[in-house]
Amino acid sequence: MSSLIPLVKNETIKIIKKKRFYVILLILLVLVPIFTYAQMRSAEHSREKFNGDWRLETQQQITDNENSLGSDRVPDEWKKFRKIIVQQLQYYLDHDVNPKEPNGVTFTREFMNNSVSLFIPLLIMAIASDIVSSERTTGTIKMLLTRPVKRWKVLLSKLITLIMFTSLIVLSTFVITYAISGLVFGYKGFDIPVFTGFQISGSDVDMSAVHAVPQWEYILMQSGLIWFVSLTVAILAFMVSVLVRSTAASIVVMMAALIAGSILTNMAAAWNSAKYLFMVNLQLTDYLSGTPAPIEGMNLTFSLIVLSIWAIAAIIVSFAVFTKRDILN
């Protein structure tokens, strides 16, 4: 009867007024400069090492790689990869771009790549784990559910709001990282070519499809994948938030799952069925950059299916529980 939009508006206003989103922005504003500084120091370090001339360094890297191309001991697959590296390095020289001194865009890309499985999900959880359980902790759920609105609509409005904020968080991470790192490293670099298309099957890397895309396109793809991962994490945290009464408990549950995921990623290669766990499939951006998946048999389609199934199951559980449950306290 009553439309969903006013409900979504309510939830949005609550998140903003509760300063949850500001906290996330604040975390980014504090942490990103730290990472930027670390990156700056390492850039300085390598600059000192090579007499301050990155062109010489880069040219030497090219020469070294070309030398290994001639060697029979180097497998052909590696040679392809080296050729790609040489191509990439050559681009830097041709465009007068210092690969070691990252520009804001490259830094942002790498930062986002590193934060997909833990950092961004953590930010997402700050909202997702709170969105239902906080209403229960404070008792406002009673006010919310005694309105002439069906329960599933209340929950759906929260889910929609969560999706909106998931997008906002991914966007903010990009914008803040770019803005801050750009201050130090410069704002240029959107058209640097980034290589993608590595197809990994088992331990073999198929380079036949490798191609370069401008960095802005790469970041767009990367952000899209991060968004999907974030959405899955958000929905799972949402379910936990429905099931668990306290926000803290709900965050702890999700954190445990995520950390378990990052540990498993590092050691589960032998345990094949671990690939069906959602937390092992969070590093979607690896498929883009060509980093081998932790467990054999994983590829983008597989991971997307696994994540989707988990997310859909979480949605079903959330709605089933939320609409049926007695609010006893």
Partner 1 sequence: MNSSNWIWRSVSIISAAATLLLIAGFVYAIQDVNYPQRAQGAGDLAESVKPPKGTSNDAIQDKKELKVAALGDSLAKGTGDSTGSGFVRRSVQEYSKDTGKKVTLLNNLGINGLTTTALLPKLEEQGTQYVLAKADVILLSIGGNDLFRGADLFTSVKNTSPNESSSSAVKKDSEVSKTSTQAKVQEIKPEDILKALPQASLKLQKILVKLREINPNAVIIYVGLYNPFGDLEQLKIPGNEAVTTWNNAALSLINKNGNMMLVPTFDLFQQNLNKYLSSDHFHPNGDGYQQIAERIVQSIR
Partner 2 sequence: MRITEQSERKDNVVLSVEHVKKKIGRKWIIQDVTFDVQEGEIFGFLGPNGAGKTTTIRMLVDLIKPTSGVIKVCGFNVNRDQEKALQYIGSIVENPEVYTYLTGWENLEHFARMQPGVDRNRIQEVVDTVRMQQRIHDKVSTYSLGMRQRLGIAQALLGRPKLLILDEPTNGLDPKGIKEMREFIRRLADEGLAVFVSSHLLSEIQLLCDRVAIISRGKVLAVGKVNELVQQNAKYVVWNVAPWEKGRAVLEKQSDVEIVNHPELVLDDSIIAGMGEHALVTRMNEDRIGSLVTQLVHLGIEVSGVHNINPTLEQLFLKMTEGEIIE
- Site residues for partner 2, window 147-206 (CB under 8 A)? 147-151
Residues in contact with partner 1, shown as a per-residue x/- string from 249 to 268 under the rule CB under 8 A: --------------------
User: Among partner 2, partner 1, none, what binds residue 73 when CB lies within 5 to 8 Å by partner kind?
Assistant: partner 1
Q: Is the dihedral of CA 243, 244, 248, 250 positive or negative?
A: negative
Instruction: Select 209 or 328, whichever has its Cβ closest to partner 2.
Output: 328
The CA distances from residue 131 to 74, 233, 244, 262, 290, in Å, are 54, 14, 11, 25, 36
Out of 25, 122, 145, 257, the only residue in the binding site for partner 2 (CB under 8 A) is 145
Q: What are phi and psi of 139, to 5 degrees?
A: 85, 0
- Site residues for partner 2, window 22-51 (CB under 8 A)? none
Q: Does 321 bind partner 2 (CB under 8 A)?
A: no
Look at residue 198 and give its three-state secondary structure.
Answer: coil
- Residue in 112, 99, 115 with CA at minimum distance from that of residue 189: 99
Query: Least Å distance between CB 5 and partner 2?
Result: 9
Q: Does 140 bind partner 2 (CB under 8 A)?
A: yes
Q: Does 165 bind partner 1 (CB under 8 A)?
A: yes
Tokens of 99: 């690969």
Q: Does 73 bind partner 1 (CB under 8 A)?
A: yes
Instruction: Select 42 or 138, whichever has its Cβ closest to partner 2.
Output: 138
Out of 48, 76, 96, 326, the only residue in the binding site for partner 1 (CB under 8 A) is 96
Q: Which amino acid is at 316?
A: I
Look at residue 54 and give its three-state secondary structure.
Answer: helix
| Neighbour-count burial of 1, counting CB atoms closer than 10 A to its CB (0-12 exposed, 13-18 middle, 19+ buried) | exposed
Instruction: Select 8 or 126, whichever has its Cβ closest to partner 1.
Output: 8
Out of 31, 40, 122, 168, the only residue in the binding site for partner 1 (CB under 8 A) is 168
Are 284 and 300 in contact, with CB atoms under 8 Å apart? yes
Q: Does 138 bind partner 2 (CB under 8 A)?
A: yes
Query: Least Å distance between CB 9 and partner 1?
Result: 5
Instruction: Select 6 or 52, whichever has its Cβ closest to partner 2.
Output: 6
Task: For tokens 């392809």, name the residue.
Answer: 80
Query: Least Å distance between CB 103 and partner 2?
Result: 40
Q: Does 9 bind partner 2 (CB under 8 A)?
A: yes
Out of 46, 167, 246, 262, the only residue in the binding site for partner 1 (CB under 8 A) is 167
User: Among partner 1, partner 2, none, what binds residue 196 when CB lies within 5 to 8 Å by partner kind?
Assistant: partner 1
- Site residues for partner 2, window 230-269 (CB under 8 A)? none
Q: Which long-range contacts (CB under 8 A, 24 or more apart) does 35-41 make?
A: 35/111, 36/107, 36/180, 36/181, 36/183, 36/184, 36/185, 37/184, 39/102, 39/107, 39/181, 39/185, 40/184, 40/185
Q: What are phi and psi of 146, to 5 degrees?
A: -100, 15
Look at residue 236 and give its three-state secondary structure.
Answer: helix
By CB under 8 A, name the binding residues for partner 2: 1-2, 6-7, 9-10, 13-14, 17-19, 138-140, 142-151, 324, 326-328
